[in-house]
Amino acid sequence: MLAIQDGSPLANIRRASLLAASCKFSELAPVEAEASPVVNLYLADENSPGHAVSANDASNYLRRLQRAVARLAKARRGRRADVSRLFPADFDLARLNVAAATLGSLNIELTPDKPDVEDNQLPVPGPSWAEIGIAELIHALPDSDESEASIDSLIGASPVVKRAVSDLVDGLNGADITLGISLRKGGEISASSRITSEQAREIKRRLDQAREDRYIVRILGRLDGLRTRRQLFYFEARAGSEIHGFVEESLIDAVKRNIDKEVEITVEVAVQLTQSGKASQRHYRLVAIGGVEAELPGLGGEQ
């Protein structure tokens, strides 16, 4: 939550920004006032007796999770495609607090922070920036050890989403750790992901490219389908080709309205180049459909 000074134009803008961002995530819908949101982080060392996780690994992943959430929250607040620098205030606005933990294979319960409300100030209703950031992160990650399609679509995701995922998986690369993240609202899991150490290494390998070219194209065709759980869209271009790629949460409703219809879409195409100059296949991110634009804009120039 953010505290706002009643009647302040700047505060009203901040309030509107938070509410607009939060409404894009169905799992962040309001529940009973007493049902506080809870984030669960699960860590298991695949090579350790009892899957016990070292204190050093636990603290490392907690720091990385907080950094990823703060980065995504900052991008959603400012409607920015990328965020390279974070400041103390960015962490304060998207803070996660440790509420409980169990030993062995580690289960850590985190609660999104709710800053104190000062005199003559009103709290903004709805989810906090920490909740919005964690929901964005979970949707970008695989949901199981068979989520090859979601790993592939991640290459076309917004640069800030890829930075946030890198914040997390760079730490997983050095150890055989399985990582699970879930968001619970009203006692029920509303979003979850699971990453094995093998998946983390594969994600890191794909993200560690020497250079990346991005450009914007508009395509007319039929929207064939949508996988909301992993945010994948499928599209048949009028020219006959078929593409699929990453769709951000802010466009999910617009995509649903246009399924099986002919529509113009705008996609950002990402092509990664290795140090040897070899180019990857094209990866797509939906940035607009039927006149509705994503909250995280594209970076590439139009072709």
Strand partners, 236: 222, 242
C-beta separation of 290 from 264 below 8 A: yes
Does residue 239 carry a pLDDT above 70? Answer: yes
Does residue 270 carry a pLDDT above 90? Answer: no
Express each pLDDT in 171-206 by its tens digit.
Answer: 765 678 888 999 888 777 878 888 888 888 888 888
Residue with tokens 């953010």: 2
Length of the chain: 303
Give the three-class secondary structure for 259. Answer: coil
pLDDT value at residue 302: 57
pLDDT value at residue 121: 46
**Which has more confidence, 256 or 151?**
256
Express each pLDDT in 278-296 by its tens digit.
Answer: 667 788 999 999 889 888 7
**Which has more confidence, 117 or 85?**
85
Strand partners, 235: 223, 243
pLDDT value at residue 220: 94
When the pLDDT of each residue in the chain is averaged and rounded to a whole number, the result is: 79
Give the three-class secondary structure for 243. Answer: strand
Does residue 128 carry a pLDDT above 90? Answer: no
Q: How many C-beta atoms lie closer than 10 Å to residue 80's C-beta? A: 17
C-beta separation of 31 from 160 below 8 A: no
Rounded mean pLDDT, 148-173: 82
Confidence of residue 25 (pLDDT cuts 50, 70, 90): low
Rounded mean pLDDT, 238-251: 85
DSSP letters along 187-228, please? TEEEEEEEE-HHHHHHHHHHH--SEEEEEEEEEEEEEEEEET
Strands 301-302 and 211-227: parallel
CA geometry: angle 72, 41, 297, nearest 5 deg: 15
Does residue 2 carry a pLDDT above 70? Answer: no
Residue with tokens 């090859």: 148
Quote the longest CA-to-CA distance of the chain.
61
pLDDT value at residue 187: 73
Express each pLDDT in 69-78 by its tens digit.
Answer: 999 999 988 8
Tokens for 158, please give them. 């917004």
CA geometry: angle 202, 249, 139, nearest 5 deg: 35
Q: Which of 208, 204, 202 is nearest to 275 (CA)?
A: 208
Q: Which of 107, 75, 112 is nearest to 94 (CA)?
A: 112
Backbone angles phi, psi at 4, to 5 degrees: -130, 140
Rounded mean pLDDT, 56-62: 87
Cα torsion 275, 212, 21, 262: sign: negative
